[in-house]
Structure 1
Amino acid sequence: MHNKTPLQKDFYRESGQWLSTFQMWKKCFSPNLHFIYLLRTAQKHPKSSFSGKIWRLILRHYQIKYGFQIYPETQIGEGLYLGHWGALVINPKAKIGKNCNIAQGVTIAQANRGKNEGVPEIGDEVWIGPNAVIVGKIIIGNNVLIAPNAYVNFDVPSHSVVVGNPGNIVPNTQATEGYINHKI
């Protein structure tokens, strides 16, 4: 498994199977997998290179088409899983760990003022439910479930569930069990 690319690991999360390049290409009829394919490809090429500019142009087209506002500069660990497509915004300075699930309608944003001015850092094995908002210079630990519609502008320790607006933390050592499949 160590010699697998981040793209192969992302596609593994969807099916639990290691796929050839051709098999991955065939799965690109799914908008969320197609976008991940384009994102990881754009990340492989330096921004200033000709190929980097072309891939970023292609990615920009599909950002608009699919509603995913995720940029190649965003640091995202392997095993990214986008459960559904549409209306997803992630600040390019955000950091996201491995084996993370992000649902539709999620916003991971920068706070421009206040005590948490900056961008979020999200740990490994984090499940982010539909329409959740994560904002500011905060740290989300590992094995965290952020419930649908939660608003998070505070640090969240590992092994927790966050529910509500404003969010409330509930400790849970099995927070993401059954939510994050096919971990790498």
Structure 2
Amino acid sequence: MATTRTTSRTTSRPANRSAARPTARATAQTDHDEAAVKAEIRVPLAEVRKPIYASVGAADLAVAKLLALPTTTTSEVRRLSDRVGSLPVQAARVPTQVGTAVRALPATVTSQISDLQDRATQLYNTFASRGERRVASIRRSPSTAEAEQRTRTAVSQTRAARTSTRRAAEAVGRAVVDAAPEK
């Protein structure tokens, strides 16, 4: 006795996202003590690409910051040298500032926690946009086109070598069979 059950599901999303939604459909069929399950999951490519773009964008920003490090280091050293002179004045204010900060801590923490998710989402989207632009620029670059052409040439040459090797092996096989004495 076989029983079949199909389940379909569309994941819900906030209204501000695109109309394409991930869907899942599963079919389970049981027959005595065995079960066969088939699943089909459809996810928009934009949803799959976004984390990759975000990681590329974060790496691109890190590289940009590292490249800017020599110039920012010089200006930061000057800024810190200027601040060293004002340290005694700032140290005298610390006890009052600490008391004020401690009293304001609950309200500060609450506002920071509520703001944190929005900032994280905004940063993620910024990284994804930056990564998408970087990937697009890499795709359009002349060096990428050249590498693509060289790869196609190498694949073509490899296929040709494989074909000629196979034909040579077949010819050797036929020659061996032809040269073998008949009994």
Give the TM-score, by structure 2 length.
0.19
Structure whose residues are more often helix by fraction: 2
> Based on CA coordinates, which of the two structures has the bigger radius of gyration?
2
Greater share of strand: 1
| TM-score, scaled relative to structure 1 | 0.19
Structure number with the bigger relative contact order (C-alpha 8 A, sep ≥ 6) is 2
